[in-house]
């Protein structure tokens, strides 16, 4: 199984907010929504992204920006423009005097901004949760990832879909958002300048990549370094050395981290007993599973499950039903 496919089992776009932002100069938006992951696709015009003391990044048409740092950031038409517009938690949007700048458009997608015909347009997709498996990916990414691609085909499809009002538009947009995310991560991992100690860059070593695929697809197997090495056709010493060099930790440490992350996410399904979950992720007994889980997360599996939110979610968000504001 592809590790990135595993990741998408966590922060799926079906649990995301989608917002089209259209602006005319001068404009500057401060975003403080505390989202674990945000995808910004530049649909037209341009913008600047800045966060903290870092240099502003220029977003051109087709550019995709991933933001995983929950600290506030600014999107602006001019990097020197002070924020006059604000987006808060759950994408609550307001103008200079606190007013909602919403307008009623025919598009089913929620659109917001200071000018319905503004030349600077972007899609902002906010993933509201990631889960433990998703957190493994997020922790492997820098605070933001910028992928410049003026001819990005997914962004072109997004433009077409947003301007229409076809059946199941929300579901289509959700899937396109996932494709934007996965495409940006794949592009980032292909860059030679990326840090070596990262499981996302393991594809540079076929043996390590295959070992990770085996761990992800069969966490319930009684893996050892010897068994993994034999399965991928290298010696035990070679796999141990190469795995640590690429991933930043030994194979068994990565296996334990993956097992517990999968278990934590499976606890959201109340139909599964803790014994079933422990077996699915490769623990011989609920006792050994409970001890390992508490060591990593600081609470017992029972306590973690009590803290879990309900997992039942509609497949099609309410945002496409009826009339909507922008």
Q: Are 223 and 293 contained in the same domain?
A: yes
Q: Are 135 and 160 contained in the same domain?
A: yes
Q: Are 279 and 150 contained in the same domain?
A: no
Does any domain span residue 25? Answer: yes
Length of the chain: 326
Does any domain span residue 126? Answer: yes
- With pLDDT > 90 as the criterion, what percentage of the chain qualifies? 40
Parent domain of 298: 199-307
Q: Are 184 and 238 contained in the same domain?
A: no
Beta partners for residue 112, in sequence order? 21
Q: Which pLDDT tens digit goes with each residue over 25-82? A: 999 999 988 888 899 999 899 999 999 888 899 999 888 999 988 889 999 999 999 9
Q: Which pLDDT tens digit goes with each residue over 233-274? A: 999 999 999 999 888 899 999 999 999 999 998 998 889 999
67: left (phi over 0), alpha (psi -120 to 50) or beta: beta
The answer to which of 72-81, 174-183, 312-321 has the lowest mean pLDDT is: 312-321
Q: Are 259 and 156 contained in the same domain?
A: no
Does any domain span residue 313? Answer: no
Q: Are 212 and 258 contained in the same domain?
A: yes
Residue 325: DSSP 8-state = B
221: pLDDT strictly greater than 70: yes
Considering the chain, what is the average pLDDT of its residues? 81
Q: Residue 255: which CATH number?
A: 1.10.10.60
Q: Are 244 and 109 contained in the same domain?
A: no
Beta partners for residue 94, in sequence order? 86
Q: Are 139 and 247 contained in the same domain?
A: no
Cβ neighbourhood burial of 260 (10 Å; 0-12, 13-18, 19+): buried
Cβ neighbourhood burial of 97 (10 Å; 0-12, 13-18, 19+): exposed
The pLDDT value recorded for residue 3 is 60
The domain total for the chain is: 2
The pLDDT value recorded for residue 207 is 94
The pair of three-digit structure tokens given for residue 204, joined into one six-digit string: 């540079």
Q: Are 178 and 272 contained in the same domain?
A: no
Helix spans in the chain (H): 3-8, 131-140, 153-162, 169-189, 206-217, 225-232, 236-247, 251-266, 274-280, 286-297, 301-307
What is the three-class DSSP state of 115? coil
Residue 15: DSSP 8-state = G
Radius of gyration (C-alpha) of the chain in whole angstroms: 22
Domain boundary among 194, 209, 233: 194
Residue 197 — pLDDT band, cuts 50, 70, 90?
A: low
Domain boundary among 144, 176, 194: 194
Instruction: Tell me the C-alpha distance between 110 and 106, whole Å.
Output: 10
Could you tell me if 36 and 125 are in contact, meaning their C-beta atoms sit under 8 angstroms apart? no
The shares of helix, strand and coil residues in the chain, as percent rounded to the nearest 5, are: 40, 15, 40
Q: Which pLDDT tens digit goes with each residue over 130-170? A: 678 777 777 778 888 898 875 577 877 877 777 666 666 77
Q: Residue 17: which CATH number?
A: 2.60.120.280
Q: Which pLDDT tens digit goes with each residue over 90-100? A: 667 777 777 66
Residue 172 — pLDDT band, cuts 50, 70, 90?
A: confident
Domain boundary among 168, 194, 220: 194
Instruction: Tell me the C-alpha distance between 193 and 138, whole Å.
Output: 18
Q: Are 179 and 303 contained in the same domain?
A: no
Consecutive H or E run containing 285? none
Q: Are 155 and 299 contained in the same domain?
A: no
Instruction: Tell me the C-alpha distance between 224 and 5, whole Å.
Output: 24
């Amino acid at each position: 199984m592809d590790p990135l496919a595993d990741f998408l089992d966590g922060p799926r776009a079906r649990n995301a907010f989608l917002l089209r932002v259209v602006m005319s100069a001068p404009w500057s938006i401060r975003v403080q929504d505390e989202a674990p992951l945000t995808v910004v696709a530049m649909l037209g015009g341009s913008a600047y992204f800045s966060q903290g003391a870092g240099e502003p990044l220029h977003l051109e048409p087709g550019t995709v920006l991933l933001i995983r740092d929950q600290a506030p950031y600014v999107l602006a038409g001019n990097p020197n423009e002070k924020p006059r517009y604000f987006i808060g938690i759950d994408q609550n949007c307001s103008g200079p005097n606190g007013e909602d700048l919403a307008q009623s458009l025919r598009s089913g997608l929620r659109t917001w901004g200071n000018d319905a015909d503004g030349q600077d347009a972007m899609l902002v997709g906010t993933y509201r949760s990631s889960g433990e498996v998703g957190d493994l990916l997020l922790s492997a990414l820098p605070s933001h990832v910028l992928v410049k691609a003026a001819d990005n085909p997914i962004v072109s499809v997004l433009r077409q879909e947003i301007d229409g009002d076809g059946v199941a538009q929300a579901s289509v947009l959700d899937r396109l958002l996932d494709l934007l995310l996965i495409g940006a991560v794949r592009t980032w991992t292909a860059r030679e300048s990326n840090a070596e100690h990262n499981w996302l860059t393991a594809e540079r070593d076929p043996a390590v990549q295959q070992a990770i695929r085996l761990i992800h697809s069969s966490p319930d197997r009684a893996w050892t370094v010897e068994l993994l090495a034999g399965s991928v056709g290298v010696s035990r010493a070679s796999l141990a050395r190469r795995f640590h060099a690429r991933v930043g930790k030994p194979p068994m440490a990565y296996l334990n981290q993956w097992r517990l992350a999968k278990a934590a996410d499976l606890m959201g399904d109340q139909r599964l007993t803790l014994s079933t979950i422990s077996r699915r992720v490769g623990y011989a007994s609920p006792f050994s599973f409970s001890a390992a889980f508490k060591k990593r997360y600081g609470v017992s599996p029972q306590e973690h499950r009590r803290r879990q939110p309900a997992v039942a979610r509609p497949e099609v968000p309410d945002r496409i039903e009826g009339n909507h504001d922008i």
